Amino acid sequence: MSKAASKSKRGLGGWGLIAVPYFWLLIFFLAPFLIVFKISLSQVAVAIPPYFPTFDLAEGWQAFREGLSELSLENYVWLTEDALYWKSYVSSVYIAAVSTLITLLIGYPIAYGMARSPEAWRPTLLMLVILPFWTSFLIRVYAWIGILKNEGLLNQFLMMLGLIDEPLVILNTNAAVYIGIVYSYLPFLVLPLYASLEKLDGSLLEAAEDLGCPPWKAFWKITVPLSLPGVIAGCFLVFIPAVGEFVIPDLLGGSETLMIGKTLWVEFFNNRDWPVSSAVAVILLLILVIPIVLFQNQQQKMAEKNQ
C-alpha cells in the first residue's frame, strides 16, 4: 500500500489517532515553553503567583495591552551582568563535554567487546547494560556518596593497600561530578553504540586483514567510521541531559561546582525568583536547541532507514 493510498483512506478514526497525542503534547509540552518565555519577560512581585504582569483575560483588552507594555528584557540583562549565570552556563557545557568524552572512552571498549562476544552471551550482556538504566538514577548517584566520602569505601580500600596515607578528597569536588555523570549515563552511550557495532559486517574486517591491513588500522579505517552513527547518537544522549543535570552536581558536587541546572533550582526554590529562573531556562534551551535538533534529525533519518 502506497503512502498516498493510506492517506486517502484515513477516516475519522485516523484523524482521532493523530489528534489525541498531538493535542496532549501541544498543551503539556509546547504551551508550557511559551509560558516560560512570557514569564521570563515579567518581573518579580510579592504576590501569588510571584510575578507581574499576570494577564487575566477577565480584566479586558486594555489591561492586556498595559500588561504587554510591562514586559521587558530586564531579566536577560541581569543574566549578563551577574557573572554567576554565564559562568554556570560555560562550566555546565564544559563539564558535560568532558564527561561525554570520558564516557565515550570507557563506553567504546565495552560496546565493542559486547558486539564481538559470542552470540549466545549477547542477550545477557545487553540486559546487564539495560538493568542499571531501570534502577533509580537517584539511588545510583547516592551509592557513590558512600564510596567517595573522605572516610568512604574507596579511601578505606586505597589506605588498606597502602597506596595513600591521607584520604583523597573526591566528594564535593568536580571530580565526583564527572564520576557521577559518566557512571549514570554510560548505558545511554553503550546501547546505541552496541547497536551500530553489532550490525557491522565482519567480512569487511576479514577482507582488510587478507589484504595485509594491520588490525589497528582496520579498526581505525573500517570499524570507527561505520560505528559513527552510534557514537553520535550516544554522545548526544549523554551530552544534552548532562548540561542541565541537577541531581549529580547537587549531591556529589561542592561549592566550586557551578552547573546551570543547580543554579536554576536554587533560583526557583530558594530565592523564589520565578522570572529569573524562567530566563535561565530560556537561555539553557537556546544553548541546547542546536544539539537537540541535530539529534532529532539523526533519529528521524535512522527511523526512516529502518522502515
Closest to other proteins by CB, 114 or 173: 114
Give dist(CA 202, CA 169) in Å, integer.
46
Closest to other proteins by CB, 177 or 237: 237
Closest to other proteins by CB, 22 or 220: 22
In angstroms, give the least distance from the CB of 112 to other proteins: 7
In angstroms, give the least distance from the CB of 177 to other proteins: 15
Does residue 283 contact residue 41 with C-beta atoms inside 8 Å?
no
In angstroms, give the least distance from the CB of 69 to other proteins: 20
Q: Which residues are 43's β-sheet partners? A: 52
Element (H, E) at 44: strand 43-44
Give dist(CA 67, CA 47) in Å, integer.
16
In angstroms, give the least distance from the CB of 102 to other proteins: 12
Query: Look-up: residue for cell 507581574?
Result: 52
Closest to other proteins by CB, 99 or 278: 278
**Nearest by Cα to 176 from 262, 256, 104:** 256
In angstroms, give the least distance from the CB of 162 to other proteins: 19
Q: Which residues are 52's β-sheet partners? A: 43
Give dist(CA 39, CA 51) in Å, integer.
8
Closest to other proteins by CB, 18 or 73: 18
Does residue 234 contact residue 190 with C-beta atoms inside 8 Å?
yes
